[in-house]
Amino acid sequence: MTHPSIPVAVLGASGYTGGELIRLLQMHPRFRIAHAAAHSRAGSRLQEALPGVRGEAGGLILSPLEAPLPAEVELVFTALPHGTAAIRVKEMLAAGRKVVDLSADFRYRNEEVYKQAYELEHPCPELLSEAVFGLSEHARQAVSEARLVANPGCYPTSTLLPLLPLLKADVVDESRIIVDSKSGASGAGRGMKPELLYCELNEGVRAYGLPRHRHASEMEAGADLFCGRRIDVHFVPHILPMTRGMLTTLHLCGRNPGDWHRILREAYRNEAFVRILPEGSLPSTSFVRGSNRCDIALEVTGEDRAVVISCLDNLVKGAAGQALQNANIMFGLEETLALPQTAIWP
């Protein structure tokens, strides 16, 4: 017996994140792409905007963002710039649709924090309390009941997955959390910026976003939300000469770091997408490329210290993959549908 398909829409389908959603949705046995829209390439076929896309989806015509959606659409993925996203999200909810929003617009419960981080009045603050911050492994129940899921940012996902179990176990010094992240270039999006030209990015590494990147407050809000902890995150992101992949190095202090590996193992024992590496092993972002996995390793480096390292694909577990994982949960489907565990390696 086959189940009827669930029609979904992707708004912002021509960017890297939107494109990754399209790729994953094509492998999905239950969701069907009924509508794809974009700002800059409306009118062209998906395979022109996203040169990797083929098959049925490749022939879809990109609608303008403001075009009405087919009535049948039950679920909308919004992969739009912050500010713009919120307005669309509100419309979609009003039309009775579920939404997974990949922008930052609904990641904060506190309107003021959003305003500070994004220097923008929130367009629809009334929805903030309803939105569920969809760090899937930690918000499963809430996501399953949500109309609106705010999909976490890539840096917060790569930080909170290793950090939350340690915060919950109350073993980490909350005032001395140092997060040093390394990201591939696709995290910076498809916009035309000189520093994203091949020759300017290749064969070089640089930090950016200092003194305070917006994602630091998202990490802090996540710790508050899931653990009721007020943490103080010192966060430095770096951009590397590679397309996909994010490695986050957490330099942590606290009590009994010799126990932390066990804490992490137990926290994620039954998870398909979070893997705690055996002691002595270290991950690489190349081991998770194209997959929805987050690989985590821990090394005790002193009596009261450890280094925790996480690796994920910023476009998958850090964006489109987690969005689809959330959508699977929202619709009561098997959580792993269309989400590879095995990476494209090499």
Residue 70 binding a copy of itself, by CB under 8 A:
no
Length of the chain: 346
Stretch that binds a copy of itself, among 82-90, 97-105, 124-132, 275-283 (CB under 8 A): 275-283
Residue 321 Cβ vs a copy of itself, minimum distance, rounded to whole Å: 12
φ and ψ of 276, to 5 deg: -90, 120
Stretch that binds a copy of itself, among 50-58, 79-87, 97-105, 126-134 (CB under 8 A): 50-58
Q: Which residue has the tokens 């989806």?
A: 57
Is residue 36 a contact partner of residue 46, using CB atoms and an 8 Å limit?
yes
Per-residue b or e along 131-154, where b marks 16 or more CB atoms closer than 10 Å to that residue's CB: bbbbbbbbbeeebeebbbbbbbbb
Residue 178 binding a copy of itself, by CB under 8 A:
yes
- Which residue, 89 or 339, is less far from a copy of itself as judged by CB? 339
- Which residue, 98 or 275, is less far from a copy of itself as judged by CB? 275
Q: Which residue has the tokens 């094509």?
A: 26
Note if 154 is an active site residue: yes
**Bridge partner list, 11:** 37, 78
- Which residue, 152 or 245, is less far from a copy of itself as judged by CB? 245
Q: Which of 229, 251, 255, 265 contacts a copy of itself by CB under 8 A?
A: 251
Element (H, E) at 309: strand 305-312
- Distance of alpha carbon 50 from alpha carbon 91, whole angstroms: 26
Q: Which of 243, 255, 271, 331 contacts a copy of itself by CB under 8 A?
A: 243
Residue 256 binding a copy of itself, by CB under 8 A:
no
Which residue, 120, 116, 118, 114, is CA-closest to 133? 114
Is residue 290 a contact partner of residue 343, using CB atoms and an 8 Å limit?
yes
Residue 172 tokens, joined: 């980490």
Spot the catalytic one: 124, 154, 294, 311. 154
- Distance of alpha carbon 27 from alpha carbon 290, whole angstroms: 13
**Residue numbers 88-147 binding a copy of itself by CB under 8 A:** none
Residue 127 Cβ vs a copy of itself, minimum distance, rounded to whole Å: 32
Residue 150 tokens, joined: 């705010």
Residue 309 binding a copy of itself, by CB under 8 A:
yes
Residue 253 tokens, joined: 């202090």
- Which residue, 13 or 127, is less far from a copy of itself as judged by CB? 13
Residue 172 Cβ vs a copy of itself, minimum distance, rounded to whole Å: 15
- Which residue, 144 or 286, is less far from a copy of itself as judged by CB? 286
Torsion of CA 93, 97, 98, 102, to 10 degrees: -70
Stretch that binds a copy of itself, among 62-70, 73-81, 146-154, 176-184 (CB under 8 A): 176-184
**Residue numbers 8-37 binding a copy of itself by CB under 8 A:** 16, 19, 22-23, 26-27
**Residue numbers 201-240 binding a copy of itself by CB under 8 A:** 201-208, 210-212, 234, 236, 238, 240
Element (H, E) at 216: helix 214-227
**Residue numbers 276-305 binding a copy of itself by CB under 8 A:** 282-291, 293, 297, 299-302, 305
Residues annotated catalytic, as ranges: 154
